[in-house]
Amino acid sequence: MKMQKKPGIAFCQPRSCKLVPRWFVFILLLLCCASGPVFAQKTDESAGREFDFTQSKGKYGDFPEGWTQEPAHIGKIPRFELRMDTEGTYLSISGSGDSGAVGSISTKTKLAPGTYAYTALFSFSEEVNPQRHLLFQCDTGTLGGIFKFYRLDNGQVEGRGLIVVAGDKPREVKLRIFYRFNPAGEVKLRRLSLTPTAPVKPRWVRFACTEGRLTDAQIPKVAEAAARQNADLLLYPEHVSQSSGDTSNGEQLQNLLSSLAAKHKMYVAASLLVIDKTDGRKYNRGVLYDRKGGLVGVYDKIHPYSPEIQTHNISPGVRTEIFKTEFGKLGMVICYDSWFTDVTELMALKGAEVILFPAAGYYRSLIPARAADNQVRFVISVLGRSYGIFDTAGRDVQTPAKDPSVSTSGKTFKDVQTLNVENIGVLCASLDLNCNISPHYNGGSMNEAPGGKRNRTEQVLYLDDEIKKEKERWWENE
């Protein structure tokens, strides 16, 4: 009598075919699932990496699999643990009750050489400021990370950075997530990813600036010379051709600058003495006209020179404005503004990439610090001498190697040219607005000089309120 075989699953082999009991297959599948990866990750290093915490199969209350607590910390370590809410699983990052605490978790992965978009998707409670309390790092041999955060329509926040893996073969990289200086609050991190992207291309913009006191007849001649140099923007000095305190030709000069911008299809900027038609007051007003001659915006000098107020009745400005152009965002300071740190800092925090600086005269040694402190470029036109164009490291494009303490690399400018137009000096140079270098590189954007990066202040006490209080104090302390 032929025996009936029990049902099973056939595993085909080269010379035989065996039947395996279903219970054995079931146990095998369970073991595979239990030991499988927490995150769905591609194994191809060139494909990048994604850590999707919503798909985590780890235990709630524990670190995600593959992530460990960093040994270095300050105070009572913040909490990092998997949790679940109505939207699913997430990595919870929260305070431990210690306002001075700093802690982090990390993981390692491999990436092929190339450029990667480093992004984090999360939400947070009202006690959290991502720039102060969160830090997403990526160590590829140089230390980079996420510096900018954007609000999304769905209420989430996306942090964005750019990471470059150098070399000719895949290398191990280390990701770190820090929570710092917040005793409370919670961050719900849903996803952290490194996605291949195109390398950043240079964004060359050509600027022209002047030195010397112009006559009305020289204004269009300088514009023609700048246009022949293919300048995208020409900056005239403070007052252009006006006499001190004289506003009689203010409207005429505005019309002239507008027409020159349209004629040469070139942005034109300057500062002029004008009477405002809305309040009837006199201002030292910066103006910018676009390639069609349209007014992009105005900036009234925040810090007038004392004689401007006391002798020429010029009122201080009461607002700052960022000029948006097709090639980038610009700010402006005028002459005496440069003695103060606040206008440049505020312009930079609002997103200015280049500061236009029309002046009658200025202290040149201030400019490298203003540029490097805020990671902005300066274009300077002056009635006297020493026009200038400076990069984000505070380097003068005419003498970039002058300061031996600058330690950096990167091509930030090119095609420097000087002209003489009837004894008016014209300086032209092209600046790469995508090359934002620091004077002290030190192995990556997370180690270099801060250059205005909000999350590189590394402080618990912010001094702005105390500075304002001290400025308003009128008496001397004994």
CATH number assigned to the domain comprising residue 157: 2.60.120.260
Q: Is the pTM of this model over 0.75?
A: yes
Looking at the domain assignment, is residue 472 inside a domain?
A: no
Q: Based on the domain organization, do 172 and 300 belong to the same domain? A: no
Q: Based on the domain organization, do 58 and 187 belong to the same domain? A: yes
CA distance 193 to 138: 11
Contact between 128 and 92 under an 8 Å Cβ cutoff? The reply is: no
Q: Based on the domain organization, do 139 and 278 belong to the same domain? A: no
Looking at the domain assignment, is residue 427 inside a domain?
A: yes
Q: Based on the domain organization, do 225 and 360 belong to the same domain? A: yes
Per-residue pLDDT of the chain (478 residues; tens, 9 = 90+): 444 443 333 333 333 334 445 544 444 444 444 433 344 444 577 788 999 999 887 789 999 999 999 998 999 999 999 999 999 999 999 999 999 999 999 999 999 999 999 999 999 999 999 999 999 999 999 999 999 999 999 999 999 999 999 999 999 999 999 999 999 999 999 999 999 999 999 999 999 999 999 999 999 999 999 999 999 999 999 999 988 778 888 899 999 999 999 999 999 999 999 999 999 999 999 999 999 999 999 999 999 999 999 999 999 999 999 999 999 999 999 999 999 999 999 999 999 999 999 999 999 999 999 999 999 999 999 999 899 999 999 999 999 999 999 988 789 999 999 999 999 999 999 999 999 999 998 888 998 888 888 888 888 888 999 999 999 999 998 8
Beta strands in 212-300 (DSSP E): 233-238, 267-275, 282-289, 295-300
The string of pLDDT tens digits covering residues 303-338 is: 999 999 999 999 999 999 999 999 999 999 999 999
Looking at the domain assignment, is residue 304 inside a domain?
A: yes
Q: What are phi and psi of 361, to 5 degrees?
A: -165, 165
The DSSP secondary structure of 212-230, one letter per residue, reads SPPPTTHHHHHHHHHHHTT
> Of 164, 197, 230, which closes a domain?
197
**Residue 346 belongs to what domain range?**
204-453
Looking at the domain assignment, is residue 478 inside a domain?
A: no
Q: Based on the domain organization, do 258 and 357 belong to the same domain? A: yes
Residue type, 166: A
The string of pLDDT tens digits covering residues 48-61 is: 899 999 988 778 99
Q: Based on the domain organization, do 192 and 99 belong to the same domain? A: yes
Q: Based on the domain organization, do 149 and 241 belong to the same domain? A: no
CATH number at residue 449: 3.60.110.10
Q: Based on the domain organization, do 179 and 250 belong to the same domain? A: no
> Of 169, 197, 225, which closes a domain?
197
Pairing label, strands 171-180, 102-111: antiparallel
Pairing label, strands 354-359, 329-332: parallel
Number of domains the chain contains: 2
Cβ neighbors of 2 (< 8 A, separation 6 or more) are none
Contact between 131 and 145 under an 8 Å Cβ cutoff? The reply is: no
Q: Based on the domain organization, do 430 and 286 belong to the same domain? A: yes
Looking at the domain assignment, is residue 10 inside a domain?
A: no
Looking at the domain assignment, is residue 277 inside a domain?
A: yes
CA distance 91 to 64: 8
Q: Based on the domain organization, do 191 and 219 belong to the same domain? A: no
Q: Based on the domain organization, do 247 and 319 belong to the same domain? A: yes
The string of pLDDT tens digits covering residues 222-237 is: 999 999 999 999 999 9
Looking at the domain assignment, is residue 5 inside a domain?
A: no
> Of 142, 177, 197, which closes a domain?
197
Q: What is the CA radius of gyration of the chain?
A: 30
Q: Based on the domain organization, do 294 and 244 belong to the same domain? A: yes
Contact between 137 and 446 under an 8 Å Cβ cutoff? The reply is: yes
Looking at the domain assignment, is residue 335 inside a domain?
A: yes
